[in-house]
Chain A
Amino acid sequence: DQQVKQNSPSLSVQEGRISILNCDYTNSMFDYFLWYKKYPAEGPTFLISISSIKDKNEDGRFTVFLNKSAKHLSLHIVPSQPGDSAVYFCAATRFGNEKLTFGTGTRLTIIP
């Protein structure tokens, strides 16, 4: 049973526009969420995270939003750049437990 779901396997966005990647979770015990970015033949790289006590966290062009009542989070990238083309994984965990539960990933393609 998949506890973290990324229902869009792929997304294409024009360079300079906003990219929005979505993630849903089913386990209400999760209280810390992370986004990882993965290029081909490389391991996932940490991008940004958010604790359940917040509903928004920003880091430069990247913003993560958390809607606890809907068990939904999203990653916004503004403006999108060609180097953002990668697979993005959403992950969740519980405080005190470093085991990460990942989604299946969304492949983002930025069109020049």
Chain B
Amino acid sequence: AQSVSQHNHHVILSEAASLELGCNYSYGGTVNLFWYVQYPGQHLQLLLKYFSGDPLVKGIKGFEAEFIKSKFSFNLRKPSVQWSDTAEYFCAVRAYTGFQKLVFGTGTRLLVSP
């Protein structure tokens, strides 16, 4: 069975600081990987996804993530955060051969101070 570990539960940054959120997964087969974001009072929405190909994936709002297969990692990065990036971020994995069940990490709550 798949599992996802997000190392940081709470992160506090100042505007313009760089961001990296860690995500490691456990699964022996091929996976699809996702980062979702939940802004205060809003739905979960997809930031970016990795299915295959270039392991460096670019998403919306300047976010990117790198899939490192040997480390079972899919870390999320942004060079310069803004106050509007304050949200909760979830990493999720889906087994490639399975149906569409997503397995989520526990989430990282990011607070960006102006």
* A and B associate: no
Contacts from B to A (Cβ < 8 Å): none
